[in-house]
Amino acid sequence: MFEKNLNISILLDFYGDTLSDRQLSMLDMYYNNDCSLAEIAEDFSISRQGVRSVLKKGESILIDMEEKLGLVDRFLKMKEKSNKIAQDLEFINKSINNTDISSKICSLISEIKDLSNY
């Protein structure tokens, strides 16, 4: 359950703007703010089943967007590869005695870590 919530939350970050304002608000409340169906239903003056229906439709749209575009998958793969590059550079840097090269490697490591934090 936690992994699904995290996945939908990430999909919201990437594709949330493709949803209607109502869908986005409800999905945000449910997945990012941990609101219950009853709380959301009260805020929107609809039934819990109505909220559930909007959530399912919004989830479906987000999942469909990811299947078509694959932005989250590409982002996660790039982040994983950049972390691996940073680790490899740190390993190389430990075995170098040249301060100029070492300084440049430290700079590259910093830039890679900045990229992977997005």
pLDDT digit string, tens, across residues 23-34? 999 999 999 999
pLDDT digits (tens, 9 = 90+) for 86-98: 888 888 888 887 7
- In the chain, the percentage of residues whose pLDDT exceeds 70 is 96
52-55 long-range contacts (CB < 8 A, ≥24 apart) are: 54/22, 54/23, 54/26, 55/26, 55/27, 55/30
Cβ contacts of 16 within 8 Å, gap of 6 or more:
24, 27, 28, 62
Cβ contacts of 23 within 8 Å, gap of 6 or more:
54, 57, 58, 61
Interaxial angle between packed helices 2-15 and 71-94, expressed in degrees from 0 to 180 and rounded to the nearest 10: 100
pTM above 0.85, yes or no: no
